[in-house]
C-alpha cells in the first residue's frame, strides 16, 4: 500500500500504474501505454493515426507524484493520442525519469545549490533537499531541476557537492537574511486508510424475465415480469411499465427452496422446474421453464453477496461464557453489496438489514485471505473490547460471524461521520458551537474508555460517527481495531493509529499511554475549527509533530476564540506529563459555556436520558443566567 498523507508515490502518465518511489528504480522498459493490457486492436485508432503501435518505457509516459491534496486528472483513452517514442539507441537500457522529493532543509554546514552552484544562504531552512538522493538546491531552482532522481545511489555525489560547498565557502562572506517562510496548511481530507462513504444509485439488474407464480394463501396463478437487483425483487405487469405489481425486499426473503424441498407440489403442465420463495408472511411458488436453475443461482447470489462456507458465530451467554454455535449470517442479515458505507485498510463496511426486525445494520466484511494472521488477531481484539463496553458514546456490537474466507462484524448503523459533516459545511469548517457540542461527547466517551483502561489509539473524525443528520446529533466512537488495554501506569510500544493523528511519542518509537487519545482530540479540534490539518506541505510532517510546530494562519484563526487556541495548545503538548488529561480538558474554560449546556440539555431531553450533564450543575447555570441577564429556557427546568 502507498502510505502517507500526501505525495504517497509515483504514477506513470503512460500506463497509469502506481509505484513506490523505491520501486521505480527497479522498473524495466515495459510501459506499453495499456495497448496490450487492455486488449485494444489497431482498428480502434482513428483514421490518420499511425497504424504501428510504438512501445515506450516508463520514461515515455513520465512519472508524476501522487497526492491526495490534488484532484486526480482524468486520463484520455489510450487510442486518443499517439504513443510517445523514446528514440533510445539499441542496447542502452532506458531509465525512468523519477522526480525528486524535495523538503525544506536546515543545513548545519555551508552548502551550495547543485543546480546554480551558488551558496544556500541563511541560518535555517536555507534550501530544499531531496529526501532520496540528497540533492540540494534553492527554492527558486527547484522547478528547474530535471526529474532525474537516482535514489540512494547519489549519496556519494551529494557528499562530493557538500565538500565542494565547504571549499567554496572559505572565500565567501555570507550576508545573512532571515525571513520567515509561510506556507498554506494541508487541506482536510479523508486519509489513505479510509475511503469516502458512498452509495450507488442502483445495484444493477442481476436477473429479469417472465415468471408464473402463486402464494400459499392465493392459488390463483399470475404471470409477471420479474426484475431482481441487489435489494429487491420487483414484479411488473409488462416489460416497459414503470408501475409495478409488487416489490419484495430481499431482507424479507428467509429461504429459497429447490424442487426437492417443495411444500406446494402442484406444478403446471408445461413447466419443468420450480422453486419457492419463503418470506415472513407468504410463500411464493414460482414456475419457470428451462431457465429456472439460473433464477435460483441469481437469487442465491443476491441473498449472499459474499459467499462462504458455514459461519460460526460467537454469542455471549447469560453466565458470561462464550458458546460457539453454527449459523449462517444470511439467515439473520441481508447484506447490500451496492451500499458501501466505508472502507479501511483490511475490510469494507456494507449496509444491511436484520431479516426478522427490519433494523438497519452495518456489516464489516474482512477478507482473511488478504491478511490472514494480523487482521484476524486485530478483529478478535476489536470484538473482545467492544463486548465489554456499553455506553451511549460507543458503537454497539451486535454479533460476529466467521467463514473460512471472511469475518463479518455486525454493528448498529449510523448516519455519517464527523469528517463528512466538516467537509459538507458551507464554510468547510464547523462553528465553535457545533465543535464544542461534538467534542464534548467525544471526551465523555473517552473518559468512559479510560476508566476501563481502554485506549482507542486511532481517534480521528472518520471514526467519530453521527447518529442522525440533525445539527446537534448524537456522537459514537467506532473502529476499535487498534484499541489497546492500557493501565493507568502502563505503556505500550506497538505502532498504532493514522499518520495525521499520531502522537509524537509514537513517531519517536517511545512508550505511549492513554494520553495519545488526548493528542488526537487536539488534532480533531484543530481540523474542525479550521478545515485544514495543522501541518504545512513544505516541511516534513513527522518533524512538525515531534516539534509541535503548528501554525495558526490569520485566516481563519482570527475569527476563533483565544480560549479554543489555548485548549488546542494544551492538548498538543509533546511532553506527555504536560498534556491535558480527559478530565482536565473537560474542565477547560472553553467548555464552560452556557449555550453549550443548553444544547446538551435539549439533546438529553430528546434522548430521554441524561449522561452528558449533571444535576448538580443546574443551579450553577441558572444563577449564571440570572447574573448575566440571559434567558433561561423554561423547558429545561
Q: Report helix, strand and coil shares of the chain as percent, to nearest 5.
A: 30, 20, 50
The beta-carbon contacts of 340-345 under 8 Å, at least 24 apart in sequence, are 340/195, 340/197, 340/198, 340/199, 340/200, 341/197, 341/413, 342/194, 342/195, 342/197, 342/417, 342/462, 343/194, 343/195, 344/193, 344/194, 344/195, 344/479, 344/481, 345/1, 345/193
Residue 73 to residues 61, 67, 156, 186, Cα–Cα distance (Å)? 15, 11, 37, 19
Whether 111 and 162 have beta carbons less than 8 Å apart is answered as yes
Residue 527 to residues 228, 343, 440, 557, 588, Cα–Cα distance (Å)? 44, 21, 16, 11, 19
Which 8-state DSSP code applies to residue 549? -
- Asked whether the bond before 556 is cis by omega within 30 degrees of 0, the reply is yes
Per DSSP, the residues of 446-510 read HHHHHHTTEE-S---GGGEEESSSSSS--EEE---TT-EE--TT--B-S--S-GGG--HHHHTT-
CA torsion, ordered 350, 355, 358, 361, to nearest 10 deg: -30
Which 8-state DSSP code applies to residue 349? E
- Which three cell numbers, joined as nine digits, stand for 3? 502510505
Per DSSP, the residues of 168-199 read HGGG------------PEEEP---TTSB----
Cα–Cα distance between 287 and 209 in angstroms, integer?
A: 12
Whether 103 and 126 have beta carbons less than 8 Å apart is answered as no
- Which three cell numbers, joined as nine digits, stand for 336? 447490500
Residue 46 to residues 34, 35, 79, 411, Cα–Cα distance (Å)? 17, 14, 8, 53
Q: Does residue 211 sit in helix, strand or coil?
A: strand
Task: Classify burial at 602, counting beta carbons within 10 Å of its beta carbon; exposed 0-12, middle 13-18, buried 19 or more.
Answer: middle
Active site residue 458: yes
Of how many residues is the chain composed?
A: 637
Whether 278 and 253 have beta carbons less than 8 Å apart is answered as yes
Catalytic residue among 132, 399, 417, 458: 458
Question: What is the enclosing helix (H) or strand (E) of 435?
Answer: helix 432-451
By C-alpha distance, which of 28, 116, 18 is closest to 67?
A: 18
Cα–Cα distance between 531 and 517 in angstroms, integer?
A: 20
The gap from C-alpha 354 to its chain's centroid, in whole angstroms, comes to 25
Q: How many CB atoms lie within 10 A of CB 175?
A: 6
Cα–Cα distance between 206 and 300 in angstroms, integer?
A: 11
Q: What contacts 102, CB < 8 A, 6 or more positions away?
A: 128, 129, 130, 131, 137, 142
In degrees, rounded to 5, the angle at the alpha carbon of residue 55 between the alpha carbons of residues 53 and 57 is: 160
List, by residue number, the catalytic residues. 458
Amino acid at each position: 500500500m502507498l502510505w502517507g498523507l500526501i505525495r504517497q508515490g509515483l504514477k506513470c502518465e503512460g500506463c497509469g500504474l502506481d509505484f513506490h518511489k523505491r520501486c521505480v528504480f527497479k522498473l524495466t522498459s515495459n510501459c506499453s501505454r495499456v495497448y496490450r493490457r487492455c486488449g485494444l486492436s489497431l482498428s480502434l485508432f482513428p483514421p490518420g493515426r499511425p497504424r504501428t503501435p510504438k512501445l515506450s518505457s516508463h520514461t515515455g509516459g513520465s512519472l508524476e507524484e501522487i497526492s491526495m491534496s490534488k484532484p486526480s486528472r482524468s486520463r484520455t483513452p489510450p487510442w486518443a493520442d499517439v504513443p510517445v517514442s523514446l528514440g533510445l539507441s539499441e542496447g542502452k537500457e532506458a531509465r525512468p525519469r523519477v522526480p525528486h522529493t524535495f523538503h525544506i532543509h536546515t543545513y548545519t554546514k555551508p552548502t551550495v545549490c547543485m543546480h546554480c552552484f551558488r551558496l544556500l544562504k541563511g541560518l535555517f531552512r536555507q534550501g530544499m533537499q531531496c529526501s532520496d538522493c540528497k540533492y540540494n538546491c534553492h527554492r527558486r531552482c527547484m522547478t528547474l531541476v530535471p526529474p532525474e532522481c537516482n535514489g540512494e545511489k547519489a549519496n556519494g555525489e551529494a557528499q562530493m557537492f557538500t565538500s565542494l560547498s565547504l571549499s567554496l565557502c572559505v572565500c565567501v562572506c555570507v550576508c545573512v537574511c532571515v525571513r520567515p517562510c509561510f506556507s498554506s496548511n494541508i487541506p482536510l481530507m479523508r486519509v489513505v486508510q479510509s475511503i469516502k462513504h458512498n452509495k450507488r444509485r442502483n445495484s444493477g439488474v442481476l436477473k429479469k424475465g417472465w415468471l408464473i407464480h402463486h402464494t400459499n394463501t392465493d392459488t390463483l396463478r399470475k404471470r409477471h415480469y420479474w426484475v431482481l437487483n441487489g435489494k429487491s425483487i420487483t414484479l411488473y405487469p409488462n416489460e416497459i411499465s414503470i408501475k409495478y405489481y409488487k416489490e419484495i425486499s430481499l431482507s424479507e426473503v428467509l429461504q429459497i427452496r429447490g424442487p426437492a424441498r417443495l411444500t406446494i407440489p402442484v406444478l403446471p403442465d408445461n413447466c419443468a422446474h420450480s422453486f419457492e420463495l419463503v418470506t415472513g408472511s407468504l410463500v411464493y411458488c414460482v414456475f419457470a421453464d428451462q431457465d429456472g436453475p439460473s433464477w435460483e443461482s441469481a437469487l442465491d447470489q443476491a441473498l449472499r453477496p459474499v459467499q462462504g462456507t458455514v459461519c460460526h458465530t460467537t454469542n455471549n451467554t447469560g453466565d458470561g461464557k462464550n458458546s460457539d454455535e453454527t449459523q449462517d449470517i444470511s439467515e439473520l442479515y441481508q447484506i447490500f453489496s451496492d451500499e458501501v458505507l466505508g472502507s479501511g485498510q483490511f475490510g469494507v463496511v456494507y449496509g444491511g438489514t436484520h431479516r426478522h426486525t427490519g433494523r438497519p445494520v452495518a456489516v464489516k466484511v474482512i477478507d482473511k485471505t488478504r491478511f490472514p494472521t494480523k487482521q484476524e488477531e486485530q478483529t478478535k481484539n476489536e470484538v473482545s473490547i467492544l463486548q465489554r463496553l456499553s455506553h451511549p458514546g460507543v458503537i454497539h456490537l451486535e454479533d460476529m460471524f466467521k467463514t473460512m474466507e471472511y469475518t463479518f462484524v455486525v454493528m448498529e448503523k449510523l448516519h455519517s461521520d464527523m469528517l463528512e459533516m466538516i467537509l459538507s459545511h458551507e464554510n468547510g469548517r464547523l462553528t465553535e458551537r457545533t465543535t464544542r457540542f461534538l467534542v464534548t461527547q467525544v471526551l465523555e466517551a473517552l473518559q468512559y474508555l479510560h476508566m476501563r483502561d481502554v485506549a482507542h489509539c486511532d481517534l480521528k473524525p472518520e471514526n467519530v460517527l453521527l447518529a442522525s443528520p440533525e445539527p446537534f446529533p448524537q456522537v459514537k466512537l467506532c473502529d476499535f481495531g487498534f484499541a489497546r488495554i492500557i493501565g493507568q501506569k502502563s505503556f505500550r510500544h506497538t505502532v498504532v493509529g493514522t499518520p495525521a493523528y499520531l502522537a509524537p511519542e509514537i513517531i519517536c518509537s517511545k512508550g505511549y499511554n492513554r494520553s495519545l487519545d488526548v493528542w488526537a482530540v487536539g488534532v480533531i479540534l484543530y481540523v474542525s475549527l479550521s478545515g485544514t490539518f495543522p501541518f504545512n506541505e513544505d516541511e516534513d510532517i513527522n518533524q512538525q509533530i515531534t516539534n509541535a510546530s503548528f501554525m495558526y494562519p490569520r485566516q481563519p484563526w482570527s475569527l476563533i476564540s483565544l480560549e479554543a487556541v489555548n485548549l488546542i495548545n494544551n492538548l498538543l503538548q509533546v511532553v506527555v506529563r504536560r498534556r491535558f488529561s480527559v478530565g482536565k480538558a473537560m474542565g477547560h474554560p472553553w467548555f464552560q459555556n452556557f449555550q453549550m449546556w443548553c444544547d446538551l440539555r435539549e439533546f438529553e431531553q430528546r434522548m430521554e436520558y441524561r449522561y452528558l450533564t449533571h444535576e448538580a450543575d443546574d443551579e450553577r447555570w441558572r444563577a449564571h443566567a440570572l447574573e448575566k441577564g440571559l434567558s433561561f429556557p423554561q423547558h429545561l427546568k
